[in-house]
Chains A and B, each alone.
Chain A
Amino acid sequence: MIARNLLLFVALSALGGLAQAQQATEMYIPIGASPGVSGKASVVGTIATVETEGRRFSVKVGDTAVMVTIPETAPVWLDRSRGKGPNRAGSQADLKPGLTVEVKSRETLPAESITAEWVKVAVTE
């Protein structure tokens, strides 16, 4: 009985999926401006190529390229601050070659390929 209850707890906490940490206000922070994150735990660069319906894309950061995988749970936000528009939730379809992006990495940086915790992409419209 006790063992079963314990198992239940373990299962519940695993299902809880805490990887999705609180990110609500992050959406409103322009690319490159997240304190302690931008440039340390994130890469900022230009989208070079987009594969498999946006689930993977490469970012050019200076002379190097970083391969990014976006899990389904990772949000994509549209940074419209350059046109003074409000930032919005977007989707992987918004990721297009040539656009500026910031990707918060789950892995320690620098790394050649990373998993996104969130993606911000600069759009002007």
Chain B
Amino acid sequence: MKKVDMWMPALLAVSLAVLAACPSTPPPAGAKLPPPRDVGDPLVAKGRELFFKETFGGNGRTCGTCHRAEHNLTIDPAFIATLPKDDPLFVAEFVPELARNFENPKLMRELGLILENLDGFSDLDRKFTLRGVPHVFAQRVSIDSNPQDRFECFSATRCPHTGWSGDGAPGTRDLRAFAVGAVTQHFTKSLNRRAGVDFRLPTEAELDALEAYQLSEGRQVELQLPLPLKSAVALRGQALFDSPAKGKCFFCHFNAGANAAPGGPLGEGNLNFDTGVEKLPDHPAALAGTPTPPDDGLGNPGNGTFNTPSLVEAADTGPFFHNNAVATIEAAVDFYDGDTFNNSPAGQGLARATGGPIRLDATEVSAIAAFLRVINALSNINELQGMLGAVERNERTNGEHPEDIVHRAVNDIDDAIRVLNEAGLHPDAVVDFREARELTIEADRHPAQRMDLARRALKAVNRARGHLSG
């Protein structure tokens, strides 16, 4: 916070505040975000079960069809390619009622894009958006545009921000409402979308459970930058990320999360900006020969703004941006050095307020990306500590059996290895991760030794952690 107060000119306050998409009508006093629940809580376990198994009487999809348990609660083209033809993700390919205007199968397979009718259902041929699937980790700390009054949203102004444009949910726009919207959009058997016929609406109790589960997934608190990182390149990247003169990233992604720098000018919480992603040249969807309507962001008609995502979870959940515009984290960082960002409303506001555009050279781009890779590996380690710890104690977490947890743990280890290897970071930690991987696979194979093998895998993971950060 100090970093902001020290230098922030009043001008920035004004010019960026108007970019943030929330008008300031004070909302009525109301309920706060539901409190954290522990991993053994039955409501969370029920929510997890619903999220991955409940089809709500619809076309066979579950929330987990797109937010996969074994793939960081998201999907990407490489993962999609491994799915069988009859996976419910592909209902548009085999259910005749859903053949038109429900999904774009070509762009789903090539780019991992999902069709949504965010601006209404009045002209299905022309009015739709195609968006990537966000991981739904760390919701507790990343959808909150209104910390004073989080889940009451009757003024329709300062509401929770869900989805890429912050307006993915109807009604109260919180996670409960989001689930209703998701069922209506993605689960229907026909485009008539009749509640009670084409799908059923979740009950109040189911919505509570789904919300409790989602709020318990992933990170529950913000990182506190700067971290004592051991890689000189990642450390430099962190400094650039947090520099008001160079990277300027922290204004919008404070502590590499989804919230604006507090005490600063942007307002509090998780905000929307027009950073120009829609205006990038050579969008992969356009290159694929499938012109898609422009995505106008928040509202209807939209104001061109999109919601700030958390970056801690980013490096292993590409492609990046709302339309999966770029495939690598390096390219996503490099976006901020380009004309498209710096000429965008957000880029211009930032430039005026901070004395110039964001300019980053190749080494600086890789350093920031290295920082994002390392904090992503650290977040995988946090997840692994929880998972392997539970297996070691032979405990369920969120209702998940140790047998399944250990199976899933391998994916997180693979992610950590990949995220570091791709940029040649921390070969020392990778060696430990590989050992952890072998032990975890053994634990998966030999239930009788599961607890002991998990304990040893956890040790290796902790050694890897020691290489990344002090």
Contacts and interface: CB of A to CB of B under 8 A. Distances in A.
Interface of A: 2, 5-6, 9-10, 12-13, 16-30, 33-37, 40-41, 81, 84-87, 89, 104-106, 108, 117
The 8 closest A-B pairs by CB, nearest first: A22-B167, A86-B192, A26-B170, A36-B172, A16-B303, A41-B154, A25-B184, A25-B181
B207 interface: yes
A84 B22 CA distance: 38
Interface in B163-190: 163, 165, 167-174, 176-177, 180-181, 184-185
A117 B201 CA distance: 22
B194 A87 contact: yes
A35 B180 contact: yes
Contact of B18 (A10, A34, A37): A10
Interface string B140-177: 00000000000100111101000101011111111011
B238 interface: no
13 contacts: A16-B303, A19-B156, A22-B170, A22-B298, A24-B117, A24-B170, A27-B121, A35-B176, A35-B180, A35-B202, A37-B172, A37-B177, A106-B155
Interface string B319-358: 0000000000000000000000000010011001000000
Interface residues of B, number: 56
Contacts of B298: 18, 22
Given A13-B18, A21-B156, A22-B118, A34 B170 contact: yes
Contact of B157 (A18, A81, A108): A18
Chain A CB within 10 Å — which of B120, B159, B202 has the most? B120
B122 A89 contact: yes
Contact of A26 (B19, B171, B345): B171
B195 A28 contact: yes
Given A22-B170, A25-B184, A81-B194, 9 more contacts: A2-B352, A5-B15, A16-B21, A18-B21, A22-B298, A25-B170, A25-B185, A26-B171, A84-B194
A50 B184 CA distance: 32
B195 A30 contact: yes
Nearest to A15: B303
A108 B152 CA distance: 11
Nearest to A73: B300
Contacts of A30: 195-196, 201
A22 B172 contact: no
B119 interface: yes
A44 to B, nearest CB: 14
B294 interface: no
A9 B180 contact: no
A9 B172 contact: no
A35 B177 contact: yes
A5 B19 CA distance: 12
A20 B154 contact: no
B303 A29 contact: no
A108 B18 CA distance: 26
A85 B194 CA distance: 7
A22 B167 CA distance: 5
B201 A36 contact: no
A29 B185 CA distance: 11
Contacts of A25: 117, 170, 180-181, 184-185
Contacts of A17: 299
> Interface centre among A9, A22, A24, by most B CB within 10 Å?
A22
Contact of B194 (A20, A36, A86): A86
A30 to B, nearest CB: 5
B12 to A, nearest CB: 11
B177 A23 contact: no
Interface string B291-331: 00000001111010000000000000000000000000000
A90 B322 CA distance: 32
Contact of A20 (B18, B151, B201, B299): B299
